[in-house]
Structure 1
Amino acid sequence: MTATPPNDPLTFEFFNEIGIIDQLSGTIFERALPARMTRAQFTVLNHFVRLGHHERSPAQLANAFQVTRPTITSTLARMARDGLVTIRDDPADGRAKLVSLTDKGRSARESALGAVTPLLPLLEAVIDPQELALVLPVLRRVRIALDAARDPVPNHAPDTSNP
């Protein structure tokens, strides 16, 4: 058991545990992914499958993952080279691009899931299905709340100048 500083708020401890779990599980997950697939690439593939998107712009994907456009553009370029996604010009805006998942990308996601399936007993050894069923709705509520709060309206200082 790890010592916890006595003055840390409970909410901080909650997010600290999630952060540590993310780091540890992310490393294990990345090691299990098929050769040449990165965690970022899997995340893009999973995003398309999970949300059922047909096409997204790089800007929409950058916003979804809270990364810069150059970062997502680099990831998408590698994925397009590997045939996991297609990138085409947006007919409504000649400067913009649209990204879509290919059949190869969908298959790669399924292969990646298969590669990490042997890791599931690690979690199953720590938490039984009933506990997991209780925890998931709480985690979903936290995710939904954080997602809704990530793009707040800028807090503008009141205009105190005289017109």
Structure 2
Amino acid sequence: MEAAFGFFNEIGIIAQLSGMALENAMPEGMTLAQFSVLNHLSRMGEGWTPQRIAQAMQVTKGAMTGTLKHLEGKELVVIVPDESDGRVKRVSISPEGRAMREACIAAVAPLMQEMMQDLDIKNIARTVPVLAAVRAWLDARRN
């Protein structure tokens, strides 16, 4: 039990520290939440509803609505009514959003390179399957 607590404690601290470091490295005006949405849409495809994105990000629909409004105001996403049900909105990443995602990735690259120089990257790479398995286990049990 103590090992599991220590494991999740370290993950929580890493999430806080890495989130702040990544956000500080991003282009001015971009937040980690905004980048996360752009990254999600880029990886998972187009046409997600705000509710589905909120569920994927584990935030409230209200919080996601605010994030999407900021992204839409910056022309990084396009929000349109669903073709079959106009009450439902669909979100897609714009070409500018894809470019911003790439700019964010480029902006954090020096931090990643520094980490790879200072830490044993092979050891870190070996942990990825373990972390992916833990993520999948937790994901299957949410809601």
- Partner secondary structure for residue 95 of structure 1: coil
Deviations 1:15-42 (CA, angstroms, capped at 9, x unpaired): 0000001111111111101011111000
Question: What's the counterpart of residue 66 of structure 1?
Answer: 58
Residue of structure 1 aligned with 2:119, choices 114, 127, 140: 127
Indicate the RMSD between aligned Cα atoms, in angstroms: 1.2
| 2:27 partner amino acid | P
RCO (CA 8 Å, sep 6+): is it higher in 1 or 2?
2
Alignment of 1:25-104 (within 5 A): 25-51=18-44, 53-104=45-96
Aligned residue-pair number: 143
User: Partner amino acid for 2:70?
Assistant: R
Identity of aligned residues (%): 45
Q: Rg bigger for which structure?
A: 1
Q: 2:5 aligned to 12, 27, 32, which one?
A: 12
Matched position secondary structure for 2:87:
strand
Unaligned runs of 5+ in 1: 1-7, 152-163
**Paired position in structure 2 for 1:105:** 97
Instruction: Give, as a single letter, the amino acid of the residue that structure 1 aligns with 2:67.
Output: T
Cα distance in 2 between the residues matched to 1:47 and 1:127: 27
2-side partners of 1:62 and 1:144: how far apart? 18
Gaps of at least 5 residues in structure 2 are none
More helix by share: 2
Quick one: distance in 2 between partners of 1:56 and 1:114? 26
